[in-house]
Amino acid sequence: METIAPFIEVIDEIKEADGDIFKLCFQCGLCDSVCPWNRVRPFSMRKLIREAAFGLSEIEGEDIWRCTTCGTCTAQCPRGVKQIEVSVALRRVATEYELFPASVKSARTARASLISEGNPIQGDRKKRADWAKDLSVKTYAEGMDVLYFVGCYLSYDPRMKKVATATANILKKAGVDFGILGSQENCCGESIRKTGSEEVFKRLARENIKTFIDNGVKKVIVSSPHCFHTFKNEYPEFMVNFEVIYISQYILELVNEGRLELKEEFPKKVTYHDPCYLGRHNGIYDEPRDLLKKVSGLELVEMESHGKNSLCCGGGGGRIWMDTPQEERFSDIRLKQAKEVGAQVLATSCPYCITNFEESRLNLEYEAVLEIKDITEIVSEMI
C-alpha cells in the first residue's frame, strides 16, 4: 500500500522525538478500560498503539478518527505512552492522502472554511464581530487592559453568541478596559491540528500571533478551553508567550477584588461539567466551582464522573465536526448523570460541551428537566 511509507516515517519521527514511546507500552489495557468510547461501543486504543508500533495501522478506517483527545487514557497510563500524539500522527497521514471515511467528510468542510474564512463553521469573516454591534464593545487597541479573544463558536453560533454577550456585559460591569479583534481574529487552530491538518494549524497560529504582536497584545482572556490550551501550551512553539487567562478565572478575580458584585439569587441545584481541555489538560478544576459557590442560593452538586474523571462531551479532537450516531454520543450519558443527581442546571464553560449538551437535551427530551448554561450566563444574570 502506497501510504505505508509515509505512515512509517511519521511513526519514526515520534520514536525519535519521544524516545520510542511504543516500547513503553506493555499492553496493560488500562487505556481501553477508561476510554469513554467503551461506554457506547467497542474501541481499543491499546490495539492502535500496538499496530502503530509495527507500522500496521489501517489508516483508511474509522478507528483513528474516534479519539476525542480527552486525555483520560494519557492521565491514567502507568507508562507515559502518548496516545493522543499517536492518534494525531495517524490522522496526519490520512489527511495527506485524503483517506476520509464517510463520518469524517464534514471535517473536510470545516477545514476548507478555516482556510477561506478563518473559522470552521462557514461564517463570513467580515461578520465575526456582528454579535457585539449593539453592545458598544470596542476594537482592541494597544494599551487596553486585556484582549477578549471571542473564538469561533461564540462569534457565529446563535446559542453561543449568548455566552459572548454575557461575557462582554460582565467585563463592562466590572469596568474592565477590554477590546476584541473582530475580523482580524482567526480560529486558534487547536481542533484542526488534532485532525491532522498541521499546515492549516500553523497558518492560523502565525496569523493570530502576528495580529497579537501588531496590536500590542500582552494579556488575553478566552471563553474556550481549546483556545486557552492552544495559546498557553502550543503557541510557545512559535517562540512567543502571551499571558492567557481563562474567563472563569478572570471573573473570580474580579469578584474577589470587589470589582464585580453578584447581587441576585440563583435558587437552583447546579452541577458542573469539567471540560477536558480545561480540567485534565490544564488542571483547572477549582476556580469554576469557586465562582459558582459565590452565587447566592446556588446549590452545587457533583455528578458521578467529575474532576479528573470527568466524562468527555465527545467534541474534542475535531469530533465536534464529525457525524456521531445518537446511540454513541457521550453527551447523552452526561445529561443522564446530571439528572441522576437532581440537577436543574448543567453548567460548564466550553462551546463544544454546550453545543453537544444542547443537542442531547433535545434528543432526550430534557427541555423541561434540565437547563444548559455557561458559567458566564449565570454570573451575568446575578449582576
Mean pLDDT, rounded, for 263-281: 97
Is 248 among the domain residues?
yes
Residue 78 confidence (pLDDT) above 50: yes
Residue 16 confidence (pLDDT) above 70: no
The whole domain housing 238 covers: 120-253
Task: Tell me the whole-structure pTM to 2 decimals.
Answer: 0.94
One domain for residues 276 and 325 = yes
Among 67, 99, 131, give the residue marking a domain's end. 99
Is 363 among the domain residues?
yes
Is 301 among the domain residues?
yes
One domain for residues 62 and 144 = no
Among 253, 283, 304, give the residue marking a domain's end. 253
One domain for residues 356 and 272 = yes
Write down the mean pLDDT value for the chain: 93
Mean pLDDT, rounded, for 239-244: 96
Residue 56 confidence (pLDDT) above 80: no
One domain for residues 125 and 92 = no
* Structural domain count of the chain: 3
Residue 191 confidence (pLDDT) above 90: yes
pLDDT-derived band at 1 (thresholds 50, 70, 90) equals: very low
One domain for residues 328 and 376 = yes
One domain for residues 334 and 376 = yes
One domain for residues 241 and 266 = no
Is 217 among the domain residues?
yes
Mean pLDDT, rounded, for 111-131: 97
β-pair partners for 243? 219
Q: By C-alpha distance, which of 251, 173, 268, 190 is closest to 225? A: 190
pLDDT of residue 14: 58
Mean pLDDT, rounded, for 141-170: 98
CATH number, domain containing residue 331:
3.40.50.10700
One domain for residues 19 and 66 = yes
One domain for residues 91 and 129 = no
One domain for residues 208 and 299 = no
Among 99, 133, 155, give the residue marking a domain's end. 99
pLDDT-derived band at 86 (thresholds 50, 70, 90) equals: confident
pLDDT of residue 80: 87
CATH number, domain containing residue 138:
3.40.50
Is 106 among the domain residues?
no
What are the φ/ψ torsions at residue 371 (nearest 5 degrees)? -95, 145
Is 104 among the domain residues?
no
Q: By C-alpha distance, which of 297, 296, 259, 290 is closest to 272? A: 290
* pLDDT tens track for 322-353: 999 999 999 999 999 999 999 999 999 999 99
Is 271 among the domain residues?
yes
Percent of the chain at pLDDT exceeding 90: 81
One domain for residues 265 and 237 = no
One domain for residues 247 and 179 = yes
